[in-house]
Each structure stands twice: as structure tokens, then as C-alpha cells.
Amino acid sequence: MHVQVPGHKAVIRVADAKYAAMAKYVVTHNRGSFHTLKEAAVRSFSLPLATFLRGGHVHCDLYIIGAYDQSYLDPHVQYHLQSFVAQEGKGLIVVGPDAMPSVFYSPAGPSTIATYNSSRYRHHQRQLLADGLLGSAGALLEPPPQISALAITVNLVSGPMGLLLSGYVSNPGGNLTLAAPSTLQNAELAAAQLVEYLQGQLVG
């Protein structure tokens, strides 16, 4: 979340250089809200987490981070990121996690998918069928897939602030364009949504 201070243009930085294109997109489409690199007097959008912790946060208002960095396991890192967000006009954007629609997952899938008690799940479905609560007695469904929430280490940072990234994989409604999971695509989507939010086209 990022709360803009009236009359103040923000400096956007990224923890991973691969998100720099996202930062550039946001700045280009919101010159009234964000400083360019020249205006901010910084050489690049990149601000590695280690540098951020050593004082780099002073030259940053909106910090873009990933979801899986093992550094988030460190209470020192958690504290500094949470303290950053607590300051007026400061905020984080979290990129990730990566997920495909549930049709691409199965209980016997990759190790990142949580294991299930399939027999218990099917027994529960049979009870629903018997009670007439599951529609027609067609093929029994597989349990819903789930990404291990333990792998989403950013929850250790965002959780105490009231934001948890779920491990459940859901199917969105409407038309869906499929592509391989990509943090870069997640970053592009987040950038577009932030621009729409700042322009009043999206209600947060």
C-alpha cells in the first residue's frame, strides 16, 4: 500500500533489477506523482534489499519487493520493512506469488503443491452427494490445489500489517489469457493497477 502525501512526488525503487521496467512504467505514466531518476538524483531504480537496510530507504518512498526472498525470515528485515511502511507516504508493492489456473495442478503435482488426504476429501463429497448438496452424481472432484504458503516468505513481513498472500489457487471468472507463471508479468499487472488507482480509475 502507498499513501501519497499531497504536494509531494514519490521516489519508486525496486529490490530486484528485473522489476525496473515496472518502475519505469509507473513513473512514465504518472509524472505528477513520481520523480524520474534525474529528479530523484539516483542512478537507477534498483535498490537491493541489503542497501535498503543500510540506509537506502531514505531515498525511497515506494519499494517494490518479491514474495519469496529468504531474507524475510530475519526479524531484523521484517522490522525494517514494517517500520518503513509505518512512515507517512511510504509503501510496498509485493510482486507474486506465481500461479496458473487450478486445471494445471493436481494432488500428485510438483512439491510446491500441498498434499491432501484424498480419501477423506472424496468421503466428504460422497456425503454431500447423498444429501443432495453437490448436484448430479458425476465424477468426484479432486481437492483444490494449493501452493505451500510457507514458501511465500513475504507473509512474515506483510502478515502483521494485515495482509496475507494465500496459497490457494483459484480460477478467475471471464476470459483468461494463459501464459507461463512469471514474476515479471505479475509486476506488469501491479504497475498497471497502480497507475489506474492513482488516476482514479481503480478503487483500492
Same domain, 158 and 85: yes
Q: Whole-angstrom Cα distance, residue 147 to residue 162?
A: 20
90 and 26 in one domain?
A: yes
55 occurs within a structural domain = yes
Domain extent for 43: 12-98+149-198
Look at residue 199 in the predicted model and tell me its pLDDT: 67
Rounded Cα distance between 49 and 53, Å, is: 6
2 in Cβ contact with 61 (< 8 Å): yes
Q: What is the tally of structural domains in the chain? A: 2
204, part of any domain = no
- Residue 184 cell numbers, joined: 515479471
16 part of a folded domain: yes
Say yes or no: 75 and 19 in one domain.
Answer: yes
Q: Do 140 and 157 fall within a single domain?
A: no
Residues 117 and 16 in one domain: no
3-state SS string for the chain: CCCCCCCCCECEEECCHHHHHHHHHHHHHCCCCECCHHHHCCCCCECCHHHHHCCHHHHCCEEEEECCCHHHHCHHHHHHHHHHHHCCCCEEEEECCCCCCHHHCCCCCCCCECCCCHHHHHHHHHHHHHCCCCCCCCCCCCCCCEECHHHCCCHHHHHHHCCCCCCECCCCCCCCCCCCCCHHHHHHHHHHHHHHHHCCCCCC
In a domain, 59, yes or no: yes
* Residues 116 and 180 grouped into a single domain: no
Q: Are residues 153 and 58 in the same domain?
A: yes
Q: Are residues 126 and 28 in the same domain?
A: no
Is 6 within the bounds of a domain?
A: no
On whether residue 5 sits in a domain, the answer given is no
- Domain assignment of residue 91, yes or no: yes
State how far the alpha carbon of 173 is from the alpha carbons of 73, 96, 99, 170, in Å.
35, 20, 15, 10
Please check whether residues 90 and 112 belong to one and the same domain.
no
Same domain, residue pair 162 and 81: yes
Residues 53 and 126 occupy one common structural domain: no
pLDDT in tens, the chain (204 residues): 444 555 678 999 999 999 999 899 999 988 888 999 999 999 999 999 999 999 999 999 999 999 989 999 999 999 999 999 999 889 999 987 666 555 555 554 443 433 334 455 455 556 555 655 445 544 445 555 566 677 789 999 998 988 887 766 665 544 444 444 555 566 666 666 766 766 666 665
Bridge partners (DSSP) listed for residue 93: 64
* Count of other CB atoms within 10 angstroms of residue 129: 15
